[in-house]
Structure formats: structure tokens, C-alpha cells
Structure 1
Amino acid sequence: MAKKKNSPNKLINESSPYLLQHAYNPVDWYPWGEEALQKAKMEDKPILVSIGYAACHWCHVMEHQSFEDEKIAEVMNKHFVCIKVDREERPDVDALHMDALQAMGLQGGWPLNVFLNSEAKPFYGGTYFTPEQWVNLLLNIAEAYSKNRPELNKSAEQFAQHLNLSELSRYGIRKSKTAVNEEEFEELYKNLARHFDKKHGGFGTAPKFPMPANLLFMLRYYHHTGQDAALKQLNLTLHEMAYGGIYDQIGGGFARYAVDQKWLVPHFEKMLYDNGQLISLYAEAYQLTKEPLYKAVVYETIAFTERELLSEEGGFYSSLDADSEGVEGKFYVFTRKELQDLIGAEEPILSKYYHVTTTGNFEHGQNILHRRISDEHFAKENELELEVLEEMVKTWKEKLLEVRSERIRPGLDDKILCSWNAIMLKGLADAYYTFGNKHFLHLAVRNADFILQHLKRGDRLYHNYKKGNTTIDGFLEDYALLIRALIRVYEITFEEKYLQEAKKLTAYTLANFFDEQEQLFFFTDRNAEKLVARKKELLDNVIPSSNSVMATNLYLLGLYFDDERYQQLSDTMLAQVKELVIKEPSHMGNWASLYYHKLQPTAEVAIVGHQAPEMRSELSSFYIPNMLLAGTENHSALPLLKDRSDIGGQTTVYVCYNKTCQLPVHTAAEALEQLQKGSGENPKFPSL
């Protein structure tokens, strides 16, 4: 029977906004957990697992069309135990069932709907269904489960066996030699270059995702080789994204992806993890190029996250919905008439600048504001002084942002996730590392302290936080991304507590996530809930894989703490997947950056003396991606700093490679000269 109207289901006590959206559906939803799984066994019913997330447009559509329909709910409740999952809260459950769907030869995506037998083993699934398709599927599955149970159970067993194959076996990867070399590195880049869109930037065709890990690798490839074609493609991509509709021209920040090849029409949801990574990317690109546009993107994107995603406690919320008032993008778009009324005499020049038309470039005569050329070119073409144009644009943005603030806002997913906050933390730290803006430092330190206070208990991390509560054990992505961020926070503060926290968390992952047999990390803690399979995450996607981040962490911490075991393990992890990194770098971008780090000795720069922070600031304004910084104003027991002191009362810099140090120096210019000679990289540093 359908539930009584307006009575809540079992989701009512959940913290996830996505689950709470479904709490008053007539479907008798359960959260993922023992209660629902046991109910399926007791009642001998198949399980429906429906997975989505709060900013997912088609998840909302299917809810409205099917899950809010009482007749459809009656069919679901009669024949199935129905479980709702927020993929962002339970990435382990999501990854398992996405793998199952792909093993069935079906296209993945969200909403993800998978049918399991009463033993929680998947046998069929799909993504979005129209109401008619959905009802037919439900009835067909129910009939098959009643009449052909042995065949379905046999399929479920076969899928379970597939899910328990190791990732190395599934991708057919053989362990390679540990050594890295220039020939492989060049082959790796050429294989990535096959996917370049040389007209609009980025990779492939529509839909277009930014893929920050791949772009960060391209920065490092250029720095190593000096090949202009790589820098040209990178700059094309960064400009096209920053000019396109995927970037919020008024309020800053990026949407998750563009539905077209030109970056014009975004899928309007804004995710914390995208924006954190893109802050890092544009900050690093600015170090290399000194392109003003990249600096503007960093500053505006941080302003967006602070204005719209920052909690009072110092944590960042997860995302903003694509929809407002049930319409995708409504919050962000304008008709030309609206702009004429708002801007007045300057509207024609604004419309030319942002390519606004009377007919619009989006639905219902609406316009997605976007650019095509730099301010310098636009000013010249329109016979304007650059400073005049820049002041006009600043005023337009302020006016339109104020108008937008009075509109009905997109839904906010106000859960706080450890891994995504760690990505944002690194973004803030990278922005401070590049620009030296003290506000960025304040935001970074506040966020780091928030994470360590609220998402860590003893040696363990938790994945989620809301209103003082943590309910889900940390996954490898939480540990890996936080360790990486804390290393960077140490580099911008020289406060050793952050580096020591990173080391402690690393020790925990080795004790509780590491697979000695394959020399890689599981995604889930050995103490966590046992699912049908225990997975490993190898492929870098829109977020770098937790194994590639851990391999990088071990490499860096091995240098900081002079730990040969960490170094060797990092080498072994890369060797395990190196064959795939070279062949398919578009899915292994963060692994490719680790390959780069191992190609040349990493510069270990120790700064000692009362001017250590200022010296760090001078050095970090230059693009030296294969460098780690350690510093102290007095003395430190860190291996890189131990027994080192300032000389003659002057702040002193020690530049070392492979445990061999050059003569100590007292200026950033001298240190840069040593770094340039010792790196073997092609590009020259500009003079101070």
C-alpha cells in the first residue's frame, strides 16, 4: 500500500538534504543500512537501491514524476524494499553499484537505480526512466523475481564475482619497472594530446568537463619540456572556460560541466570539489604565465565560495542546485529587456561584452552571459580606455549580483564533507601560496582547524558533518585529500602541527586501508561495513583517485621525514599502474603528475631564520612545481631542518637535491639561481 499522504518515511531523521527531499514521498524509503537489508531477507523481497545527489537535475525530475506519484509508489512498496542513497555521503555504495551497472553493459549516470536480490547482490539496473517505463520495469522485475529466481540469483552471483575482481585484473594491468624515463613521459603526453579539442580547449566533445588533474599535468609537462604547443593548448582551455557560460561571469565560480563543446551552456549546479580544484589550477597557471585573467578567476571563485558555501563554523557546504523555482539555470540568466532596465545607457556595451541578444542564447529568450575576447581586445575594438572598461565591468557585476541576490536561490546542499573540504582547503592554500593574500591564508587555516576539530576523532576521520554530528566513517578519499591539503598548509604556514597531522593520518591509512598483496589502498576502512565487494579507486576522474593522491602523499612525506619506506611504496604504487598511465593518461591525470615528480629530483628547500615566511613568499611566487618547502624561524627537529641554522643572523636558504645540498644562500634570487641549475627543467625563471 502507498503511505498515507504527508506522513514521513524512514528518511526523515537523515542529515543529507538529498535524502530529506524524499522524506515525504509516498514511497516507503529506507536509508542504506542494516534495517532495510534485514527487511529484504525477512520478507524475501528484491531491493531497489536508488542513488542520486542534491544538485542532480534528473534526480529531481524522476522524483517528481515517479516517486511522488502515489500509484507508482504503491507498486514500489508492494514488491520491493526501497533504499535511497546520497552518492556524496556514501561513495562506496555508489561506486559498487555503478560498477555493477557497467558490468551489465549499461550506461552509467544519475539517478542510478539498481535492483538487488535479498542478499544485496545486484542483478539489473538503469538510470533515468519515464513514469511509464518505470512502472513497466518494476512489474517486469517483480514478476521475474517471483518466477525466475534461480536465473536472477545466478546473474547476481556472476556480477558479484565480477565486482570482486581486483582493479588491476579488470584493467589488465601488469606491474611495470619502477624506473621512469623521458621516452615514456613523451609517449604519455602524446596519448593525452589525442583527446585535445584544439578549437575550444579541453578534452573531447560535448559534454565538456574541466578535468583539472589533466590540466595540472599539462602545466608540469610544459615546465619540464618547454614545448609551446602544450602551453598553447592549456592557455586556450583556461581562457575558454573562464570566458564561457560554465564560469559564472557575475558571481564567480564554475558549474560542474558544459553540455556543449564551446563551454557556453552549463549544467548549472556548482560543486565545492570543482571550484576548489579550479582555484588550485588557475593559481598554478598564474604562477607560470602571470595572466591577469587567471588571477581574477581565483579571486572571484574564492569570493563565490565564501559568500555562498561557507558555514559559520568555517566548513564549506557541498553544492548549489542547478534549479531554482523548478527551472534549471533561472537564478543565473537574464533577458535583454531586464538588462536594459537595470543597466540603462550602458546596456548596449554590456550586451556586446557578454554577447546578449534579444532572442537569447538559452531557453525562453534568456541569455547566459559569456565572453569571447580579452578586455584589452574589447577595449581596443570599442575605442575605450582599458581602465574605463574595467570600471564599467566592475559596476555591472555589482549591480547584477545585487539583483540576483534578491531572486529565489538555488537549493543548497548544506552537508559538509571531509574530502571536498580538503580539496577546497588545498585550493585556498594554493591561492595564498601564489598571491600572498592574507585573507586566503585566514580562510585556509580556519578551514583546516575546522576539519581537524569536527571531522577527526582520535586517529580516525569522518566523512560527513552537520549540526555537530558525524555519522559516516571516513573513506580513503577523506584521508588522502586531507593529508595532501595539510602538507600544503604546512608549506604556507611552517606550522609543523599540520605536517605531523598528515603523518599520523598516513600511518592510519597504512594500518587500515592498505592491501599488502597488491600494494595499493582499499577505498574503505577494514573496520567499515562489509559490502558485496571491497573496492579500490585507481582512475582519476573529475576528482583525483584516492590511490593516486596517497602515492603522491607518500612521496612528499617520504622527503619531509626522510622515510625510505614511504618513498619505495610510492614508487611501487606508480609501477603498479604505470602501463595504464602511459596508455590512458586522460583517465590518470594525477598519476601522470606523480610520474613527472619522479622524473627529476625534487628540490628540497629549507629556510631558516626570522625572515623565513617572507623568503617563502618570494620563492612561492615563482612556478617551481617540483619543489617542497620547509622552514622555521628558530630550530626544528624535522629531517630537512635538523641541525640547520641561520648564518650570521641572516635568514638562510638551503637548496638540496637527493640529499645533496648546495651552498647556503641568503637571498631568493640566489636560491632561484640554484633551483634553475639543479632542476634540469627548460623554462627560465624571470629575474627578481
Structure 2
Amino acid sequence: MNQLSQETSPYLLQHANNPVHWKAWNANSLAEAKEKNSLIIISIGYSACHWCHVMEHESFEDQEVADVMNKNFVNIKVDREERPDVDAVYMKAVQIMIRRGGWPLNVVTLPDGRPIWGGTYFRKEEWMQTLGQLQEVYQSNPDKVIDYAERLHEGIQSLNIIENLKSGTSVNQEDLTLLVEKWKEEFDLEFGGMSRSPKFMMPNNYQFLLRFAFQKKDMNLFDFVNLTLTRMAYGGVFDTVDGGFSRYSVDNKWHVPHFEKMLYDNGQLVSLYSDAYKLTQNPLYKEVVIKTLSFVERELMNAENGFYCALDADSLNTENHLEEGAFYVWKIPELKTIIGDDFELFSQVFNINTFGLWEDGNYVLIQNKSLKDIAELNHIKVSSLEKKKIFWEKILYLKREKRSKPRLDDKCLTSWNAIMLKGFVDAYKALEDKNYLKLALQNANFIIKNLWSSEGNLYHNYKNKKSTINGYLEDYCFVIAAFISLYEVTFDEKWLQKAKQLTDYSLEHFYDETSGFFAFTSNLDEALISSHFETEDNVIPASNSVMGKNLFQLSIYFNNSYYEKVSQRMLQNIISFIEYPSAYSNWMDLALNYSEQNKELAICGDSALEYCHKINSFYFPNVVLAGAKKVSNLPFLKDRFVADQTLFYLCQNKTCQTPDSDFQEIITNLI
């Protein structure tokens, strides 16, 4: 057993019995490398990563490989979810070296941490041969290795340089239109998403495109977003039996997923489908939200109201071997036994045919026709088929529960919990299920109690009643966004005050005045080989773009011009240099806040919360909402309460209309 046995991360603990002398990333491990003048192997992955498991089995569990690694290297294992800062720096290095990245991420560095070589997955022989060559070169010609490391280090640092305009130019809304037109060239008009595989859900992309289509009245774009959401919900990437989305689809039709289920995906997708339901009233979207939240509450929620990270892609098959997707797939004989006389109809709904076949006789359930079309084809009522589908899914769920379940990553991450918290709030807005708000509030209190220290900083991780890692910008930005969303449904100003407190802490410990952006790590943390400014939106929006949106909204609530200045400066320094819209969709969403369509609405009076719920049931992405049932000192609401009346204050561009008591008139003016 190696030093990883002392860790709490499920991923690190998976490697605790490897013959490799693994150490965790910490000051002692790094100091040992310097003291011995040894090269460092930094191997980065996460618990739900299939190819991480494969490389572990082929190489890290092998004594021959371990002997090579232990003899000449200091070996450090990193959970990328616990240490996204370390992952980001070395991912940049690998992308510079081989023009791609992924996990497992394996890097060899000098004793001071500067990388000299790296890649992703390696087979045993290639791994051993490369390590031998690197050690030989380092011993025989260290100057050559150090020179390469210096040049690579310069390249890594250059990626952090963002041209700083420091200008007061306004956001040109036409630029957004041009970017969207360019983006449309990548659309898959048959299956939705982008015309490529694998396909990631990228929920923030579709949050922005849905809003853009709504505000610009672009029906073709609106139809494309609906196509995408429908195809994702139909696809095997969505677990129709138990709810929840897998991480991505390996094919172009959303059929066969990479089967791990991540908390951050499901939190964002609940928000997306909730918004789409408000706009369309499509029952499929409602079904997706309800099933996904049921899955999260059942499988990913702990007794303290925190949310776990993920379910693994791998599970034990009938031969008791770990196999990707074993828990989720079906074979025809088993389905015939379970479904019985309805098997033919079931096969039409879920494509137990060549369209739904994966491999080795395994089927991943996928729809490609609506129940209405299938019902008409079979001369039965749609309601009858809907009931059958519900029944089929229930008996498949009961049967599947007898299988060996995927492994659980049972740590809690602050940023991901906040994303899921906001998902519950957005679902509450759309469906008005009070249980969703209750769970959101419980999780918010879990964060406050366990992940927010008395010194004012957030922690990043929590497990076994311990938090050990200082929070990153992603933790602050998503908790702030989640607390703002709680205010939007409760009008409880404590959530805004807590959001402001975290924002001010972020400005003090993360904001870099020179660049105009927030660093990913606190200035209280020990520096890595390169600082990191997260500006590109990915499967999770960039922490800087989320902070930009938070600052915009808080600047209105607190009439804080500095918040607005920081937000606008960040946006202006990004928007002019966007080449790939999909990597900046959350920035583009922030840019829409500066359009003429953006409005603020204050509701003051005894019925404020009642009207709040009504407003939240509409899709108004362009409205900043506030309100109070009594006198409020919140700057945006100050002097707006009038006893025995409920008044609406509609504002635009910091100019407010005359207070109005006619709710329907307000709705008309918001549309």
C-alpha cells in the first residue's frame, strides 16, 4: 500500500494498492523530487474515467512497470476534480506538445515541476520504453532537457496573455449575430448538436442559443435548439430508465454514451431543459427534468444534503469483470423475458433493431420517433402507449437494480454542488415543485456549514466531514450564481448578501488588476509553475465568464459601479477576439445583457412573492428580478415599498417607468 491510502479522493484511493510508490500532490512530494534531483511523473485522472482504469490495470498494477517508475522517478497521482489548477497547467503543456489532450493525462517534469514530455493514454510497453529514454537523456544530457523545459514553460505562460483593451467601447450586438451565423455552419440538422463525433452536450451553448433565438426571434435557430434537446432526450446518452445524462456520446446520433454520469452535466442540463420547458411546454422536457432530479436525489445525494460527484462508466458484468456500460445495456433474450407480449411494440419505441444495436448483441435504448407517430402506426391511443412506456421503464428499472451498480465517487465538490443547486432552483421556477426548492435550500446550507470557513474563504472539497483544499475561482463563481438564483425565487436578501460577501472576497484574493481577469487560484495559495486564467467556456462555463455575469447582476442589485466596470472590462477584452463561438457562449450570453432588450423588474408589496413565482414560470432570460414584501434597504429596492399596495417597477438602461399595479401590463411589456 502506497501513500495514497492516506487520501480521501476515491480516484486516489483506487490507486492505493498499486505497486507504484504513488504520492499525492503536496509540498512534501515536490520537495522530495528536488532533494533527489529526480524527474517527476504526474499522472492525472478522475474516478469515472474509463481509460484511466484501463491504464491502471495494464501498467500501474504491473510490477515490472512499477519497478521502472519507482527506481528513477517521484510518482504523483492527481485527481483532476480535486486539483483542477494542476490539471489546467499540465493540460496546456500536453496540448502544446501533441496538439490534443484528455485523460488520463501523463506528464514527466523536471524536479521543479516544469514539464519535459507528456501525453494521454499509453500502453505498457510504450510507457516503459519512453520512461527509460527520458531518464537516460536526463542523465546523459541534462542541459538539453532543461533547455526544452524552459522553452515549453515560456509557451505555457504565453497562453495566459490576454490583450487588454482597457477601453470603454460598448458591446456591438451585431457582432453576436455574425458569430451565430458563423456558428450555424457547424450545426447537425439531422440529429442536433454539432456535426462531429464524439458529441458533448455543452449545455451552456444551448442556453445561449435558446436565449439568442428568443430575443432575436430567429425561428430556424429555435427549431435547431429544440431538435438538439429532443434528440439528446431520445438518445442513449439520456438514461430513460432511471434519469440522468452520461458525459457524452461517442457517435453522432447521441446513441452510445461514454457511460459515466457527472454531477456538473446533470445540474446544467436540468437548468437548460427547465428553461426550454418554460418556453415550449414540451412534456418531453418536463419528463427529462423530473427523471434527472429523481436520479440525483436518489443516487447522488448524501445524508448531509451534499451531492456526490459521479457514477463510474464501468461496472461488473455477468462474468464479474469491470466493463464499460455493463449496468446500462440490454440483450434481446433478456428484454423479451422482461417485456413479454409487448416486445414488438417496445422494439419500435426503443429501436431494438439495427438503429439501436451497439456491439456484441448489446442494445442501448434510443428513440427516433415520437410516441404519437408510433401510436398512429399501430392504431392505438397515444395515452395508452405513454402508460406502457412508463410501465416498461419501471420494470426495467427494477430488473436493472439487481445488477452490480457502477462505482460511486462520493466526494463533494463545492463548484459542482452549486451547479446542481441552481439546477434545482431552475426546475422549481419551471415546475413549481416545492420539494425542489427545499432540496436547493438544504444544499445551500450544506455549503455554508461545511465549505465556507470562518476566515471567509470557501473550500473546494468535502468528504468524511473534512475539507482540505482551498477553494478555486470556480467554487466562488458558481456558489455566487446559485445564491443569486435562490434570491430570485425567495426574495430573501440574505442570499444576495452572502453572494456579495463572496464576490468581495474574490475581488480581494483572485482579481488581477493588470489583466482585468480573475486568476483561477487564490493569492493565498502556493503558486504553480504558471498562473491560470480560465476564460474559455467548455462543458462547464469558464469561471471568469460566470463571474462576469454575477458582477453584472450584483451591480444592479447593489448599485455598484465598480462591479459593473469589472464585468464590462472582462467582456470587452474577450468579445473582440472570439473566433470559435462555442468556446465563448457564456461570454456571448453576458453580452446579451447589454442589449436594448435587457430589463430590470422590482416587485414590492404584500403579494411580491406570489407574483415572483408567476414571473419565474415565464422564460424571461433578459430580466433581472428583485422584490420585497416589506421595506428594503437593498439599493435597487430602496424607497419603493408602499404599504397596502403591490407595485411593479420596470426599468431599462437604468431608467424606470412609472410604478404600475397591473400585472398583465407588466407581462406585456416584458415579452
TM-score scaled by structure 1? 0.95
Question: Which residue matches 2:429?
Answer: 433
* Alpha-carbon distance, 1:651 to partner: 2.5
Question: Which residue matches 1:343?
Answer: 339
Q: Structure 1: how far apart are the matches of 2:396 and 2:588?
A: 41
Superposition map of 1:530-679 within 5 A: 530-581=527-578, 583-600=579-596, 602-646=598-642, 649-676=644-671
2:120 corresponds to 1:123: no
1:493 to 485, 490, 493: 490
Matched residue type, 1:439: N
Superposition map of 1:360-379 within 5 A: 361-379=357-375
Question: Which residue matches 1:207?
Answer: 198
1:77 to 70, 76, 88: 70
Superposition map of 1:277-296 within 5 A: 277-296=268-287
Q: Is the 2:311–2:409 Cα contact (8 Å) retained in structure 1?
A: yes
Q: Is the 2:520–2:533 Cα contact (8 Å) retained in structure 1?
A: yes
Matched residue type, 2:575: K
Long gaps (5+) in structure 1: 1-7, 677-688
2:107 corresponds to 1:107: no
* Alpha-carbon distance, 1:358 to partner: 9.0
Q: Is the 1:336–1:357 Cα contact (8 Å) retained in structure 2?
A: no
Please give the secondary structure, in 2, of the residue aligned with 1:598. coil
Q: Structure 1: how far apart are the matches of 2:25 and 2:394?
A: 44
* Alpha-carbon distance, 1:181 to partner: 2.3
Please give the secondary structure, in 2, of the residue aligned with 1:653. strand
Q: Structure 1: how far apart are the matches of 2:515 and 2:257?
A: 40
* Alpha-carbon distance, 1:585 to partner: 0.9
* Alpha-carbon distance, 1:536 to partner: 0.4
2:15 to 4, 14, 22: 22
Please give the secondary structure, in 2, of the residue aligned with 1:24. coil
Mean Cα deviation higher: 355-364 or 47-56 = 355-364
Please give the secondary structure, in 1, of the residue aligned with 2:544. helix
Superposition map of 1:4-23 within 5 A: 8-23=1-16
* Alpha-carbon distance, 1:575 to partner: 0.6
Matched residue type, 1:143: E
Question: Which residue matches 2:242?
Answer: 251
Mean Cα deviation higher: 176-185 or 25-34 = 176-185
Cα distance 1:646–1:299, how it changes in 2: closer, same or farther (>3 A)? farther
Matched residue type, 1:636: S
Q: Is the 2:255–2:356 Cα contact (8 Å) retained in structure 1?
A: no
Please give the secondary structure, in 1, of the residue aligned with 2:137. helix
Please give the secondary structure, in 2, of the residue aligned with 1:77. helix
Q: Is the 1:336–1:360 Cα contact (8 Å) retained in structure 2?
A: no
Question: Which residue matches 1:421?
Answer: 417
Question: Which residue matches 2:319?
Answer: none
Q: Is the 1:178–1:571 Cα contact (8 Å) retained in structure 2?
A: no
Question: Which residue matches 1:228?
Answer: 219
Question: Which residue matches 1:305?
Answer: 296
2:483 corresponds to 1:483: no
Q: Structure 2: how far apart are the matches of 1:353 and 1:95?
A: 43
* Alpha-carbon distance, 1:273 to partner: 0.3
Q: Structure 2: how far apart are the matches of 1:435 and 1:288?
A: 12
Matched residue type, 1:310: M
Q: Structure 2: how far apart are the matches of 1:281 and 1:77?
A: 47
Please give the secondary structure, in 2, of the residue aligned with 1:39. helix
Q: Is the 2:215–2:597 Cα contact (8 Å) retained in structure 1?
A: no
Mean Cα deviation higher: 76-85 or 360-369 = 360-369
* Alpha-carbon distance, 1:157 to partner: 1.2
Cα distance 1:559–1:132, how it changes in 2: closer, same or farther (>3 A)? same
Q: Is the 2:98–2:119 Cα contact (8 Å) retained in structure 1?
A: no
Q: Structure 2: how far apart are the matches of 1:268 and 1:128?
A: 19
Please give the secondary structure, in 2, of the residue aligned with 1:237. helix
Q: Structure 1: how far apart are the matches of 2:118 and 2:398?
A: 45
Residues 483-524 of structure 1: CA deviation (Å, up to 9, x unaligned):
111100110111111110000000001000011101111000
Question: Which residue matches 2:350?
Answer: 354
2:398 to 381, 387, 402: 402
1:316 to 303, 307, 310: 307
The aligned length equals 665
Q: Is the 1:244–1:263 Cα contact (8 Å) retained in structure 2?
A: yes
Residues 101-146 of structure 1: CA deviation (Å, up to 9, x unaligned):
1122342111000000111111101111111111111111111111
2:441 corresponds to 1:450: no
Mean Cα deviation higher: 548-557 or 597-606 = 597-606
Mean Cα deviation higher: 404-413 or 356-365 = 356-365
Q: Structure 2: how far apart are the matches of 1:421 and 1:641?
A: 30
Superposition map of 1:258-269 within 5 A: 258-269=249-260
* Alpha-carbon distance, 1:617 to partner: 1.1
Please give the secondary structure, in 2, of the residue aligned with 1:124. strand
Matched residue type, 1:521: F
What is the root-mean-square deviation in Å for CA atoms of aligned residues?
Answer: 1.5
Matched residue type, 1:270: K
Cα distance 1:222–1:359, how it changes in 2: closer, same or farther (>3 A)? closer
Mean Cα deviation higher: 569-578 or 657-666 = 657-666
* Alpha-carbon distance, 1:185 to partner: 1.9
Residues 520-569 of structure 1: CA deviation (Å, up to 9, x unaligned):
11000000121101110010000000000011111000011111111111
Question: Which residue matches 1:271?
Answer: 262
Please give the secondary structure, in 2, of the residue aligned with 1:74. helix
Matched residue type, 2:118: G
Q: Is the 1:175–1:577 Cα contact (8 Å) retained in structure 2?
A: no
Question: Which residue matches 1:145?
Answer: 138
Q: Is the 1:241–1:263 Cα contact (8 Å) retained in structure 2?
A: yes
Question: Which residue matches 1:470?
Answer: 467
* Alpha-carbon distance, 1:66 to partner: 0.4
Matched residue type, 1:136: Q
Question: Which residue matches 1:36?
Answer: 29
* Alpha-carbon distance, 1:174 to partner: 5.8
Q: Is the 1:222–1:230 Cα contact (8 Å) retained in structure 2?
A: yes
Q: Structure 1: how far apart are the matches of 2:495 and 2:415?
A: 16
* Alpha-carbon distance, 1:601 to partner: 5.2
Please give the secondary structure, in 1, of the residue aligned with 2:290. helix
TM-score scaled by structure 2? 0.97
Q: Structure 2: how far apart are the matches of 1:176 and 1:354?
A: 55
1:388 to 384, 392, 406: 384
Matched residue type, 1:146: Q
Question: Which residue matches 1:3?
Answer: none
2:501 corresponds to 1:510: no
* Alpha-carbon distance, 1:606 to partner: 1.2
Task: State, as a whole percentage, how many aligned pairs show the same letter.
Answer: 47
* Alpha-carbon distance, 1:175 to partner: 6.4
Q: Structure 2: how far apart are the matches of 1:673 and 1:505?
A: 36
